[in-house]
Amino acid sequence: MRRKFLGVLQLMLITGLLLPGCNKWDDHNSLTDPMVGKDLFQQISENAALSKFAELLTKSGYDKVIASSKTYTVFAPTNTALSTLDPAIVNDSARLRMFVGNHIANQLYQTTTTPVRLQMLNGKYNNLQGKLLEDANITIADQYTKNGYLQVLDKMLPALPSAWEFLETSPLAPAKQKAYLLSLFRNVFNPANAVQIGINPATGLPIYQAGTDSIRTNIFWRDVHDLRNESKQYTFFMLSDAAWDSEENKYKPFFITGDADSTTRLADSAIVKDLAVEGYYPQSTLPDTLLSKFNVKVGINKSAIVQTVKVSNGIVYIMRSVDVRPKDKFQQYIIEAESYRGSSADRRGNTYFRDRFNPLTGQQFRDVLVFNHGLAMFNLNYRLTNVPALKFRAYWVALHDNINNNTATFTQKLGIGSPTSTVLPYITVAVNDYREIYIGEFSSTTYMPFLNLFLTAANTTTANTNPIVCDYIRLEPVL
């Protein structure tokens, strides 16, 4: 009997603990709630301070939307807040619908201390934190109706352009950076919507109906950031034309080709890829250095900000300069030796991938060893892409831990461009040396879309003197 009584008591305690957790939306269903029978539009219409917004709802057609059975959160600006609304917006049905839709979210949102990014009915997003929606104060919060929440604002929320829309349409967008980014539209293969009409008998690959297998896109959207994306926020730097010219001149020497136009395009590509970062950094929190998507340090001098433009998915800064140093732009290459592209001959039976422990670093590592392959100057091939015109210092870690009980040293080299290249010399691989070893330096006088490297064995067929072994190769730019 005592056990049964305790069980009932525990149930009562649990129920009592759970009841306070019911949120305000559950509470509004009470039959004594005077708002329970009023939808959002009714409640807005009955509030004299919101009469102008009620008119805009009706004129835009959103009155029927927020009077439906679906749930919404409406952020309604007061008559005072709407007093400066441009009449051109009111008289343009598309612009009006975009404006009004920027005040309605199709989910239930209460004021909260946790930052929330709300999607609005116009496809834009607004940031809600506490009793602040963007820079508008919520003066009457969490007022519920039978189909949602009403939040009253002291400011209206213009439907801002995205960062990309700003670039495309605003006269404030600097011309040269804009022209380069708009030049990056391409048709790229996309099988998602392709209509297959056959199979190529020679290759076995599908044949698609012309015009269905590609989409028009911008390379910057694909490779850097899609500045149209409203669900994310970005900080986007646009350089004045003079600043753009200065950066071009700084980076052209690293992209020397046989054609001046291609050199300019390559330099421009290197510049813009670090001028957009994910995240919203208003001036009050803008640091002096940001890291780009490519882990490049972007130095920010606030005194170089010419203009600040708030956009729907972040912020745009027009700059008279941005400090991105070549030593930060051009980073080292680290090539894991076991990840080679190919070899001069098929010697898979003589190739070993070894797990080892480096007592100097305290780290595990995996290397590649090719032993008793029987070929003079046997080599493994690696390829780098987009190599700028500059000097590199080369290093490797090559562990000869008494391979096949051999205590004698052997030599190997890194061939630059070809296995037989003499740019870097043969290097003696000492026994049980876990250190990173400097193996020489080389210069690239022109930009190279591809640079082939070859880990090359000694020019002998003797097993104990022609192994190749390597953990990694590191190429450090000299700047």
Contact present, 155 and 102 (Cβ < 8 Å): no
Q: Which domain holds residue 472?
A: 333-478
Please state the φ and ψ torsions of residue 443, each to the nearest 5 degrees. Answer: -120, 140
Task: Tell me what pLDDT residue 133 has.
Answer: 97
CA 359 to chain centre: 37
CB-side exposure of 329: number of CA atoms within 13 Å? Answer: 26
**CATH at residue 256:** 2.30.180
Q: Please give the backbone phi and psi of residue 348, each rounded to the nearest 5 degrees, phi first.
A: -60, -30
Distance CA 319, CA 301 (A): 9
Q: What's the pLDDT score for residue 201?
A: 86
Provide the pLDDT for residue 35.
Answer: 61
At residue 11, the pLDDT reads 38
* Tally of CB atoms within 10 A around 325: 13
**Model pLDDT, residue 8:** 38
Q: Which residues contact 133 (CB under 8 A, 6 or more apart)?
A: 75, 118, 126, 127, 151, 153, 157
Residues 180 and 309 in one domain: yes
Domain presence at residue 9: no
The per-residue pLDDT for 73 is 98
pLDDT score at 4: 41
Please check whether residue 191 lies inside any domain of the structure: no
**Integer CA distances (angstroms), 14 to 1, 20, 291, 317, in order:** 20, 11, 50, 54
Q: Specify if 220 maps to a domain.
A: no
Are 54 and 112 part of one and the same domain?
yes
- Low-confidence stretches of the chain (pLDDT beneath 70): 1-36, 190, 211-214
| pLDDT in the model for residue 208 | 79
pTM of the model: 0.84
Q: Are residues 271 and 372 in the same domain?
A: no
Render pLDDT for 34-54 as a digit per residue (tens, 0 to 9).
Answer: 666 799 999 999 999 999 999
pLDDT at 213: 64
CB neighbour list of residue 86: distance below 8 Å, 6 or more residues apart: none
Boundary residue ending a domain (304, 325, 346): 325
Cβ(410)–Cβ(464) below 8 Å: yes
